[in-house]
Structure 1
């Protein structure tokens, strides 16, 4: 299987979706299959679905956003992690995260990192198919696209939370990275 390219340093944002349960495996794949350095930022709700310790072990780095860190340097966390990254990938991205980001609010470290990022920012929505089709969610996704944020289309699948079926599932990681590579090429062509 031919693997798509992957940026060298990936800041992986994780929000409070049941799909976050897959994050440790995705972090390990980013490191082992794609050779990326990975740092993870969790929203407070994400900790209900994935253990920060598991992500620290899989990433080999401190997981951010979990609790307040002692002030040991003048660096500002959201600015520091955003400037470190070659790609800020929010996987999974809930409807709530899409709404907050589209409105430009930053109530947590991940939201602030998105606002501070100079690198490409890509979100991967993951939610019930009925939620994904709501006009307000589509408007938020359209606003993110208009603001230069990549929005990976969800795929048809079975919802982890309720067993329903429809468009709203997270694509496999290789497909997400293929989408990111194609989107990046399009952005470069437009700016050239």
Structure 2
């Protein structure tokens, strides 16, 4: 199995979901992983360290100042030891500490010291999960490169019904197996062009038409593709997201700007992924002065913009072409029609009305459809995880192309 021999540091912070962490420890051990557990004092109020010691077959770490080996510093030693660090459950408190660089106990100190990939499985009350401070802290951790295991929805221990239940141990195990089974340099040398975000079409010097796209899906694709070794060009509409590491970014504003940039970049690309939400129409005439309001109704004549994806489909030779279909109804029908009409190899279809999907979200739910009829259903997951699943399909298509 892909976890066999992997060194997993499980950080257990205090909450009722600690009982799930015990089950997770057992499952990780059964896969052949080597598990070491680090607990906060609050976590020990729910489940004893002896339980985790028995399930992991390793000593449990509790106190920064409990140095049992004179030859090493425990929190540095275990931080260096890990192939992967998993915080499960991750409380709002621990998320806040890590996001703000606070190191006042062994867990937070170890988390700041590790260079291993960090995975976070939040567990808290629905209102806590939705609090602006917690959201900001989670966004900060994502910007640091942390991976999130999305919590589930349902009846919480506090009596509320909503989002906040720690991901199930089976789902966490499956996600980690997928992560370790992927060759992290499997896109080495591939030229990938990705579009992201909205476009803006001017009405006059102070007004424009646009849409709700945040660019998060396209930026996640660019970040993950670069991490997997690809040479990535990201063509971005007007968004405020930071440029992912090792990604060449080209900023554009209008649909025509994006058309020109994409057509130029696509010629040398192995893969083009069009995740941007480009305007289909623009004002036929742009006023040179600010339009003044009146008591009458206003009509603005609109004209079609150039269809970037259709043009790419017509001009492609051996490139792999990936499109997106964000629909509010008849998802399968419209996605399949777009797949054929635009001459795509893969389309990523999502219902924008689905819980956790749509614009300006950190998560997505989608169906990946190929020209040969094969489809992959992606459940609710972070956009970074969805990005890796899309890139997995791109890699499969690339193997068939060569």
Which stretch shows the higher mean deviation, 123-132 or 59-68? Answer: 59-68
1:102-141 superposed matches below 5 A: 102-141=99-138
Counterpart contact for 1:23–1:50, Cα < 8 Å: no
**What is the aligned-residue RMSD (CA, Å)?**
2.2
Q: Distance in 1 between matches of 2:96 and 2:145?
A: 15
SS of residue matched to 2:61: coil
Give the total of aligned pairs.
Answer: 187
CA deviation after TM superposition for structure 1 residue 145, in Å: 0.3
Please say if 1:29 is aligned against 2:39. no
Counterpart contact for 2:21–2:169, Cα < 8 Å: no
> 1:72 matched to which residue of 2?
69
**Which ranges in structure 2 are unaligned for 5 or more consecutive residues?**
185-220, 230-402
**Which ranges in structure 1 are unaligned for 5 or more consecutive residues?**
none
Counterpart contact for 2:7–2:82, Cα < 8 Å: yes
CA deviation after TM superposition for structure 1 residue 28, in Å: 0.9
1:43-58 superposed matches below 5 A: 43-58=40-55
CA deviation after TM superposition for structure 1 residue 177, in Å: 3.3
The one of 146, 164, 170 equivalent to 1:168 is 164
Q: Relative to total residues, which structure has the larger helix share, 1 or 2?
A: 1
Q: Distance in 1 between matches of 2:96 and 2:18?
A: 18
> 2:145 matched to which residue of 1?
148
Query: Which one has a bigger Cα radius of gyration?
Result: 2
> 1:89 matched to which residue of 2?
86
SS of residue matched to 1:35: coil
Q: Distance in 2 between matches of 1:72 and 1:179?
A: 34
Q: Distance in 2 between matches of 1:41 and 1:145?
A: 22
Counterpart contact for 2:10–2:88, Cα < 8 Å: yes
Q: Indicate the structure whose relative CO is greater, using CA pairs within 8 Å and at least 6 residues apart.
A: 1
CA deviation after TM superposition for structure 1 residue 165, in Å: 1.2
Q: Distance in 2 between matches of 1:67 and 1:145?
A: 26
Q: Distance in 2 between matches of 1:67 and 1:56?
A: 18
SS of residue matched to 1:18: coil
CA deviation after TM superposition for structure 1 residue 66, in Å: 4.7
Q: Distance in 2 between matches of 1:130 and 1:165?
A: 10
CA deviation after TM superposition for structure 1 residue 71, in Å: 4.5
Counterpart contact for 1:144–1:151, Cα < 8 Å: no
Q: Distance in 1 between matches of 2:147 and 2:123?
A: 14
Q: Distance in 1 between matches of 2:133 and 2:51?
A: 34
Runs of 4+ in 1 over 6 A off after TM superposition: none
